[in-house]
Amino acid sequence: MPELPEVEFAARRLRSAVLGHTLTAVDVLHPSAARHLPPAHRRALVGRQVSLVERRAKIQLLHLDDRSVLEVHFRMTGDWAFGDVGGDAPRFERVRLDTREGMRVSLVDSRAFAVVRWHAPDRFVLPDLGPEPLSDDFTVDALRDALASRRAPIKPVLLDQRVVAGVGNIYASEALWLARISPETPANALTGARQTARLTRLRDGIQEALRTAPATRYYNRGIHDGSPYDEPQEWRVYDREGQACARCGSRIVRSVQAGRSTYACRKCQR
């Protein structure tokens, strides 16, 4: 599943492909996509110029010249593929955008969970999201405020996009290992007057995990336009059950929290 670094990478690829382009056709090729992008909305997109492409949390936003917005969520397996208008369609193409400049942008998605929605001019409202973890707004005080009323274990709390925008399962585990904090620690146990150091480590761990993440992790199978992104990923803790902790040598253990796999070292994560 793509997380913040991969969605940022996808948004950059999309920006390079279509910024300033004018849409000439919008086609939906799967019933699940049609539920979110009905014919009237497709017609409203035609003739509009892409004026801005940005990411917020795991959402990609195409801002158009009439102040309408096309909102894109990859969900589990969504991805972009680019080609020439009239060229062969990629496998699992669900939504296609053609531009006057000759670019074909395809949302490909083997599971058909991805969502593309159009919002009328000045009607788009972001969901309730926490601060971007790599922004100046993500301070220790902001994190303390977000966790203060949360008694649930810290790992699933970090997956709540209202706490911190864009952090997913992999990077939550990585951040907690970097911060030496057990994923079972109650979130509000980190917010007391004597917990500032631990909270700082957690904030810094989140930022380090995301800053050092290879944006191409999601694309190790090869990007659909043929670009060779095959960088191996060496996680510090994620998906390393039974292997030695790189810090203390103890065995990494796996548990399940809120239906998601969690990986941790029980010796050096307290």
Task: Let me know if 155 is a catalytic residue.
Answer: no
Task: Let me know if 58 is a catalytic residue.
Answer: yes
Structure tokens of 76? 């589990």
Q: Which of 2, 5, 90, 133 is catalytic?
A: 2
Amino acid found at 113: F
Burial group, residue 130, by CB count within 10 angstroms (0-12, 13-18, 19+):
buried
**Contact predicate 164/133, CB 8 Å:** yes
Q: Which of 15, 117, 260, 266 is catalytic?
A: 260
Task: Provide φ and ψ at 127, rounded to 5°.
Answer: -65, 170
Please state, in angstroms and rounded to a whole number, the distance separating the CA atoms of residues 152 and 189.
Answer: 10
The total number of residues written for the chain in this structure: 270
**Contact predicate 183/173, CB 8 Å:** yes
Q: Which of 42, 58, 94, 240 is catalytic?
A: 58
Q: Which of 3, 6, 93, 174 is catalytic?
A: 3
Contacts 24+ apart (CB under 8 A), 120-126: 120/44, 120/68, 121/66, 121/67, 121/68, 122/67, 123/68, 124/61, 124/68, 124/69, 124/71, 126/56, 126/59
- Residue 17 to residues 22, 80, 84, 166, Cα–Cα distance (Å): 12, 10, 11, 23
Where in the sequence numbering do the catalytic residues fall?
2-3, 58, 260
